[in-house]
Amino acid sequence: MAKRPILRYPDQRLQLPALAAERFGAELSILAGDLLETMRAAPGIGITAPHIGVLQRVTVIELDAATGARTYVNPKILWSSDETILHAEGSVSMPGISEEVLRAHRVRVGYQTLSGEQAEEDAEGLMSICLQHEIDQLDGIFWLQRLSRLKRDRAVKRFSKQMKSG
């Protein structure tokens, strides 16, 4: 496992849709391990391969150490609830900036494991938010695109100011 550099906003690669992972084996496992190490160092609770410049549909999510990290290969949302939840979101590619985003409270996600097996998972609350956020990223939708223009402009301005001063 190795910590890799994270692309920073406004890197255009963060807006590119990731390609399906087709090869399951040691290389994919190494990528997942690198994502986990990079995410923990950031720190964050979710990261995708595109965050480190690898355009593959792979994400790692770890809400807390007790439940451990989960790796999702080629994830897609199969169903989402009409009930919504508002939660502060941010990105490892835009550290220190967060805004509230409206998401479905519950989702069902289809994905593959690191060995290529098909799986489905129901999630609610924070895990649902994280899955939607990371799948958006895999689809080339950076989280800022989920904000109103006013909130997006304010977030970008705060990040620019932060980058200049720090």
Domain boundaries, the chain: 12-160
pLDDT at 6: 98
Q: Which residues pair with 84 in a beta bridge?
A: 104
Please give the CATH superfamily to which domain 12-160 belongs.
Peptide deformylase (3.90.45.10)
Q: What percent of the chain has pLDDT over 70?
A: 99
pLDDT at 130: 98
pLDDT at 165: 86
* Tens digits of residue pLDDT in 123-153: 999 999 999 999 999 999 999 999 999 999 9
Q: Which helix (H) or strand (E) holds 134?
A: helix 125-138
pLDDT at 128: 98
Is there a contact between 58 and 28 (Cβ–Cβ < 8 Å)? yes
| Mean of the per-residue pLDDT values of the chain | 97
CA distances to 56, 84, 130, 138 from 112, in Å: 13, 26, 17, 14
The neighbour count for residue 150, using CB atoms within 10 Å, is 8
The neighbour count for residue 82, using CB atoms within 10 Å, is 7
Is there a contact between 152 and 144 (Cβ–Cβ < 8 Å)? yes
pTM: 0.97
**Residues 3-32, buried b or exposed e (16+ Cβ, 10 A)?**
ebebbebeeeebeeebeebeeeeeebeebb
Residue numbers annotated as active site? 134
Round to whole Å and give the CA distance between 112 and 31: 15
Is the pLDDT at 166 greater than 90, yes or no? no
pLDDT at 65: 85
Q: How wide is the angle at C-alpha 40 spanned by C-alphas 37 and 42, nearest 5°?
A: 105
Q: What is the mean pLDDT of residues 15-39?
A: 97
